[in-house]
Structure 1
Amino acid sequence: MTTKKLFLFEDTIPAHARPVYLPEGDRSVYVRSGSVEAISDTASQFLWEGSAHTSGTELTLASEDQDAVLWRWELGDTSEADDYAFRSAPETTSTLKLAADLELDDRYTWLMRCDTVTFPPSGEAFTHLHQGPGIRITREGEITIETEGAEHVHGPGDAWAEKGVVPVYASTTAESSTTFVRCFVLPKQVKGVSSLRIVRPEDRAKANTQKYRVLAERIMSWT
């Protein structure tokens, strides 16, 4: 087994700020509001609100005529969050939301996926597993996560980690729909398909009311 550390940051890049330069590393960037251009040595991608980018190379992030708020996941070997915060970028802010240890089986080749999950009011995800661990953060609404004998409620901007191999039951508020953004690592065989596995046989024939959208995914080269 290999232990990796996954960090989630909330970054703010003001309009017309100097570009931010990120070193080589496995990461996902999701635009919470505003827009940025993500530029690597070989490509560039314009990211608008609600879109995402995954990368394993050095990356430049450039804002335009409005402030950009980003949720950025960084996967690495170090336990020091400061190693992944914005450096030499005094116009910006970078706040750690959550860090989690990920236990990854060396026998797999792993991919990183960033996606969104949207529930209707009073939605639920039956007790389930995923094929890999990661960190989620609520964009809108409210979700209750029940796992390992504990229950936690997460509102907008709240982040939590899931191990993947540990069963989870989730339910959402009746007042509104709920959306969370998720970055997790999965075996490469799951590329393009759902990683969800329903635990209880009696739940497997029930309708799944949540909607998934894969925003970006990439097989990681170190595995």
Structure 2
Amino acid sequence: MRSFIIRLYEDRIPAGHAPVYLPRMPRSVYVVQGGITVEFSDGTQHQRQESAWVGQDPIALVAGEEDAVLWRWELVAPDAPAGTLRSAPGATSTLKLQQEIELDSQFDWLMRCDRVDFPPGGVALTHVHQGPGIRCCLKGEITIETQGKTTVHPAGSAWFELGHAPVLAPTTEATDTSFIRCFILPQGCRLRSSLRYVLPEDAGKPKRQHYHVYGERMLTLP
């Protein structure tokens, strides 16, 4: 087993700001508001609102004509320095959540960024995943019941899921709920759902949530 830290930052980059440079490491960048251009080793990609970039290259974040709000996940070694934006005086970076994780060195791993959408009153029935990750509520409200604890997460609130610990996740009746997720999975999960239902009777029940995968990348671990 090898230890790592998964971190989630919220970055705010003003319109027209000079490029912000970030070093090589596994990361996902989700655009909450505005838009951003990502420059990487062999190309450039514009990311509009409600899209995400996933990769491992050193990158530059190039501001557009609107202020941008980003959620940025990074997977780093336990002794890595803080990943706040440096040499970017007009931008701000806030650590929302970090968590130490252990990854089995006998597996190869990938990073996936996706979105889960629920109608009012939707619920993710008791389930596990094949790897750990950090989620952040985009809109609505979701309750996470796991390991004997219950926490409620409104829009902007982040939480960690271990993966192999069962989770039951009902959402509010008042409105739709969505969250963005970045998690680390064995490469065998490529293009496949990592979810497994714990209770046999839940597997055949109708599921009201919808999933959208923004991207996944095979990892060379730091």
Instruction: Name the structure 2 match of 1:42.
Output: 42
The amino acid of 1:182's aligned partner reads: R
Instruction: Name the structure 2 match of 1:5.
Output: 5
Q: Tell me the alpha carbon deviations over residues 122-143 of structure 1, each in whole angstroms, 9 at most, x when there is no partner.
A: 0111100000000000000000
Q: Tell me the alpha carbon deviations over residues 45-83 of structure 1, each in whole angstroms, 9 at most, x when there is no partner.
A: 10000100111110000011100000000100035562x
Q: Distance in 1 between matches of 2:80 and 2:185?
A: 24
The amino acid of 2:186's aligned partner reads: P
- State the TM-score, normalizing by the size of structure 2: 0.98
Q: Distance in 2 between matches of 1:179 and 1:125?
A: 12
Instruction: Name the structure 1 match of 2:24.
Output: 24
- State the TM-score, normalizing by the size of structure 1: 0.97
Q: Distance in 2 between matches of 1:25 and 1:103?
A: 17
Q: Distance in 2 between matches of 1:33 and 1:78?
A: 30
Instruction: Name the structure 2 match of 1:86.
Output: 85
Shift of 1:85: 0.8
Q: Distance in 2 between matches of 1:75 and 1:158?
A: 20
- Cα root mean square deviation, aligned: 1.0
Secondary structure of 1:202's match? helix
The answer for unaligned runs of 5 or more in structure 1 is none
Q: Distance in 2 between matches of 1:169 and 1:192?
A: 24
Secondary structure of 2:175's match? coil
The amino acid of 1:120's aligned partner reads: P
Secondary structure of 1:136's match? strand
Instruction: Name the structure 2 match of 1:196.
Output: 195
Instruction: Name the structure 2 match of 1:57.
Output: 57
Instruction: Name the structure 1 match of 2:178.
Output: 179
Q: Distance in 2 between matches of 1:191 and 1:59?
A: 24
Q: How does 1:43-192 map to 2 (within 5 A)?
A: 43-79=43-79, 82=82, 84-192=83-191
Is contact 2:143–2:170 with CA below 8 Å preserved after alignment? yes
Cα distance, 1:79–1:177 mapped onto 2, change above 3 Å: farther
**Count of aligned positions:** 222
Q: Distance in 2 between matches of 1:10 and 1:49?
A: 14
Q: Distance in 2 between matches of 1:81 and 1:170?
A: 33
The amino acid of 2:48's aligned partner reads: W
Is contact 1:81–1:96 with CA below 8 Å preserved after alignment? no
Same amino acid, percent of matched pairs: 48
Is contact 2:133–2:160 with CA below 8 Å preserved after alignment? yes
Q: Distance in 2 between matches of 1:33 and 1:192?
A: 27
Q: Tell me the alpha carbon deviations over residues 138-161 of structure 1, each in whole angstroms, 9 at most, x when there is no partner.
A: 000000000000100000000000
Is contact 2:78–2:100 with CA below 8 Å preserved after alignment? no
Is contact 2:34–2:67 with CA below 8 Å preserved after alignment? yes
Shift of 1:208: 1.3
Q: Distance in 1 between matches of 2:195 and 2:207?
A: 11
Q: Distance in 1 between matches of 2:212 and 2:3?
A: 28
Cα distance, 1:125–1:81 mapped onto 2, change above 3 Å: farther
